[in-house]
Amino acid sequence: MTDTPPEIERMVRDKIMARSGEERFIIGAQMFDSAREMVKASLPRELSQTEQRRLLFKRIYGKEIESG
């Protein structure tokens, strides 16, 4: 579902695509970092660092880390 009018979506896309590939990459990396920090903030604080990492991976990628 989207509540953004198509002309606004096109305008935003055009502005993003007008940036260099390097700038778009940096923006994407910053967005991923922000999303990761939000997920980390939602995890229970009493978990071990290993368990926090496992849950972080599962929430971001939708699957468990395979051990082996």
pLDDT band at residue 65 using 50, 70 and 90 as cut-offs: confident
In the numeric block, which tokens belong to residue 9? 């979506």
Q: Looking at the 3D structure of the chain, how many domains does it have?
A: 1
pLDDT of residue 55: 93
Residues 13-60 have pLDDT tens digits of: 999 999 999 999 999 999 999 999 999 999 999 999 999 999 999 999
User: Global pTM?
Assistant: 0.72
Is pLDDT of 68 > 80?
no
Residue 40 belongs to some domain of the structure? yes
Residue 52 belongs to some domain of the structure? yes
Residue 11 belongs to some domain of the structure? no
Domain ranges, residue 47: 36-68
